[in-house]
Amino acid sequence: MIKYKKNKNGPVLGFSMESGVTLIEQDGLYFKDLNKSGDLEPYKDWRLSAEERAKDLASKLSIEEIAGLMLYSRHQSIPAATRGPFVSTYDGKTFDESDAKAWELSDQQKEFLVKDHLRHVLVTTVETPETAAKWNNHVQALVEGIGHGIPANNSSDPRHGSDSSKEFNEGAGGHISMWPESLGLAATFSPETVQKFGEIAAKEYRALGLTTALSPQIDIATDPRWYRFNGTFGEDPHLSTDLGRAYIDGFQTSEAEKEIADGWGYDSVNAMVKHWPGGGSGEGGRDAHWGFGKYAVYPGNNFEEHMKPFTEGAFQLKGKTKEASAVMPYYTISYDQDQQNHENVGNSYNKHLIHDLLQNTYAYEGVVCTDWLITGDEPETVDLFAGKPWGVEDLTVAERHYKLLMAGVDQFGGNNEMEPVLEAYKMGVQEHGEAFMRQRMERSAVKLLKNIFRTGLFENPYLDAAESARTVGTPTYMKEGFQAQLQSIVMLKNKNDVLPLAKGLTVYIPKRYFPEQIDWFGNKVPDKTEHSINVDLVQQYFHVTDNPEEADFALVCVEGPDSGSGYSKEDRETGGSGYMPISLQYHDYTATTARKESLAGDNREVLNRSYKGNTVQTKNKSDLDLILQTKKKMKDKPVIVSMLLSNPAVVSEFENEIDGLFVQFGVQDQALLDTITGESEPSGLLPMQMPKDMETVEKQYEDMPHDMACHIDTEGNKYDFAYGLNWQGVIEDERTKRYKK
């Protein structure tokens, strides 16, 4: 049972009757006696600043409690997963086997909250907003009664993507509002839209019990092949800087009665901006979640530009909160960029990048949290998903924690156990003495605690489940998200002004083949053949036929080319290096113009990671076949293509055969149909270049933006950064004046 006490001209206090916490009354005001001492110590006094309260509490904590604060949990689903890498139990049974309610705590959650003093929890899927709110209340009631009563700072990766098949109407609600992916937000070229997203998303996060967002991802995606391109705001430093700043201002700022102090308050969500100092220049476009992609390279000597979205955006907010409250370095080794110690180690381990640059040169004062699992041991082969201790593979787990502490890191992502942190502390005591290490640990504790104090959790971490359900995914929020989806759609081609198309015409929509996929964790997803757009929705706009001869036009919905990760286990097992090209075209691609020698390598695996001469097949070549076959069936009648893009793509293989081309970055089908029929005019702009061919992709430098020859279509339009069409032609407006190169 939760009880509440309203202070006159002060905050509402929420506390659990099960926690044993009572109230202290002084001068007619009330304060939570979180450690049950009976004294109004500074950290309990909501009249003081977050800084004062955090310093007082940090000084009272044991090393074990500080070590727990420095942990950031592995992924937690609500209810807990019953299979896979994140399986958890309830009284020793899986959720399906148990009688547990979806909002109850798993055995593992109870253990890391109580035994390991962990207070930062990463939440993934939730059954419903009500379930999330009830789970939050169970977590907060448990930790409120332990030690100093430090609340849990629950968090989330981005969770506002669109379900394409869902229908939108003015009264539509949902579990959470739906927006385009980050690359789609970038396509709006609108900091105002991105800030509005942040403001709405923050309110929904708070209603779910989430007070930290592991976002935004403001790496400039300077290599078009990068696996995480679609999580960014594109390749342009200026645009990424402006959108990142707007996103963080939206998430972190509370106003009016919701503000506690300095822009922080009960609507605020801490933004953990990522990935310092920029992870978008992986060699060959490979990604550092795997050992084959551990190096970021800088053949264009453009390292400093990658930091601009941080130093000129995330650390220089327009709002009162001033800077992003946390930063996550990337897994990569920023190869040969340590000018001080000349270390080639993962970014979090690099003292020059963290202590010297981030904290000294750029005076960043917030939390530095590692990416997940960098202290774990590397897997047996570079293509397996496991620990990512790049550059420090020979150190023990405890030694890795110690090196991170000495580099300036405050928190360890994906670590549920405090023991390695305690071992690292002991190593520091042996080398520097107890006073030094106590001060070092308290410095991190103060930062971590400030982020909890500023969001009001110490006063009231509890939620009303019914109110959460009313808040999350309200029709107003859904409408704002849908408008952003419309703004994000980019029209690239409109031959003979074939678009927009009148409602009531007859459309042929070919079914798309979805090949077998291997998901993030190595599980197989079986193949299937089906429509890739909701036909029931299409029928509200057009007549639908399976006979191309009856159709007035065809609509083909495909995804961008997918050739994999840039590594082949089969090639390695048959005597090759394992390294393969990443292709942005549908046809088989042989890397005849790739560099002969890789720029980075080590003796743990292979020194030369060049893929020159190797051939890669695209998994979804059938998408190209679908477009070309549809054109043959339609003869001279219009063919419109919609591409869902995660990366730039080579469209020269089919563009001259079609009449209309849209690219989108995660929208509801209805947004696309509204655009095709002219209910909405396209206004999106390309947040990246679309390359002419794969030769220009090979020639570009991984660390340089805007350095590719772009595709020019049959209408003479160049698919360059900031290009897009509306019904009048090529868009030229205030956005293109500001950002176009």
Residues 532-543 have pLDDT tens digits of 999 999 999 999
Give the pair of three-digit tokens for residue 281: 């220049």
Give the pair of three-digit tokens for residue 307: 């930091």
How confident is residue 741, by pLDDT bands cut at 50, 70 and 90? confident
The predicted-structure confidence for 607-640, as pLDDT tens digits, reads as follows: 999 999 999 999 999 999 999 999 999 999 999 9
Place of tokens 């909890």: 452
Confidence at residue 430, expressed as pLDDT on a 0 to 100 scale: 98
Whether residue 501 has pLDDT greater than 80: yes
- Count CB atoms within 10 A of the CB of residue 8: 7
Whether residue 173 has pLDDT greater than 70: no
Q: Is residue 539 exposed (0-12), middle (13-18) or buried (19+ Cβ within 10 Å)?
A: exposed
The C-alpha atoms of residue 618 and residue 641 are separated, in whole angstroms, by 19
Helix (H, G, I), strand (E, B) or coil at 247: helix
- By DSSP bridging, strand 506-508 and strand 367-368 are unpaired
Confidence at residue 491, expressed as pLDDT on a 0 to 100 scale: 99
Region 173-186 average pLDDT: 92
Whether residue 521 has pLDDT greater than 70: no
How confident is residue 352, by pLDDT bands cut at 50, 70 and 90? very high
The answer to whether the CB of 133 falls within 8 A of the CB of 468 is yes
Confidence at residue 50, expressed as pLDDT on a 0 to 100 scale: 98
Q: Is the dihedral of CA 425, 429, 430, 436 positive or negative?
A: positive
Which phi-psi region, left, alpha or beta, contains residue 652 (left: φ > 0; alpha: ψ -120 to 50)?
alpha
The predicted-structure confidence for 186-215, as pLDDT tens digits, reads as follows: 999 999 999 999 999 999 999 999 999 999
Angle between helices 419-432 and 434-453 (to 10 degrees): 140
Give the pair of three-digit tokens for residue 407: 């580099």
Contacts of 475 (CB under 8 A, 6+ apart): 170, 171, 172, 173
The predicted-structure confidence for 457-490, as pLDDT tens digits, reads as follows: 999 999 999 999 999 999 999 999 999 999 999 9
The C-alpha atoms of residue 276 and residue 352 are separated, in whole angstroms, by 12
How confident is residue 163, by pLDDT bands cut at 50, 70 and 90? confident
The predicted-structure confidence for 707-737, as pLDDT tens digits, reads as follows: 999 999 999 999 999 999 999 999 999 999 9
The C-alpha atoms of residue 666 and residue 674 are separated, in whole angstroms, by 15
The predicted-structure confidence for 370-394, as pLDDT tens digits, reads as follows: 999 999 999 999 999 999 999 999 9
Cα 585 to Cα 191, 327, 582, 626, 654: the distances in Å are 32, 35, 9, 15, 10
Angle between helices 237-252 and 191-207 (to 10 degrees): 40
Contacts of 419 (CB under 8 A, 6+ apart): none
Whether residue 602 has pLDDT greater than 90: no
Counting residues of the chain whose pLDDT is more than 90, the rounded percentage is 93
How confident is residue 293, by pLDDT bands cut at 50, 70 and 90? very high
How confident is residue 166, by pLDDT bands cut at 50, 70 and 90? confident
Confidence at residue 520, expressed as pLDDT on a 0 to 100 scale: 58
Confidence at residue 684, expressed as pLDDT on a 0 to 100 scale: 98
Q: 702, 562, 594, 650: which is closest to 221 by C-alpha?
A: 702
- Count CB atoms within 10 A of the CB of residue 176: 22
Q: 189, 168, 47, 71: which is closest to 121 by C-alpha?
A: 71
The answer to whether the CB of 286 falls within 8 A of the CB of 202 is no
- Count CB atoms within 10 A of the CB of residue 169: 10
Per-chain mean pLDDT for the chain: 96
Confidence at residue 218, expressed as pLDDT on a 0 to 100 scale: 98
Region 270-293 average pLDDT: 98
Q: Is the dihedral of CA 462, 5, 453, 152 positive or negative?
A: negative
The C-alpha atoms of residue 408 and residue 325 are separated, in whole angstroms, by 15
How confident is residue 172, by pLDDT bands cut at 50, 70 and 90? low
Confidence at residue 162, expressed as pLDDT on a 0 to 100 scale: 79
Whether residue 558 has pLDDT greater than 80: yes
Give the pair of three-digit tokens for residue 583: 């292709």
The predicted-structure confidence for 103-133, as pLDDT tens digits, reads as follows: 999 999 999 999 999 999 999 999 999 999 9
Q: Is the dihedral of CA 472, 475, 477, 478 positive or negative?
A: positive
Q: CA triplet 687, 692, 698: central angle to 5 degrees?
A: 90
How confident is residue 525, by pLDDT bands cut at 50, 70 and 90? confident
Which residues sit opposite 121 in a β-bridge? Answer: 154
Confidence at residue 170, expressed as pLDDT on a 0 to 100 scale: 61
The answer to whether the CB of 184 falls within 8 A of the CB of 488 is yes
The predicted-structure confidence for 437-455, as pLDDT tens digits, reads as follows: 999 999 999 999 999 999 9
Q: Is the dihedral of CA 417, 420, 421, 425 positive or negative?
A: positive
Angle between helices 419-432 and 397-407 (to 10 degrees): 60
The C-alpha atoms of residue 739 and residue 741 are separated, in whole angstroms, by 6
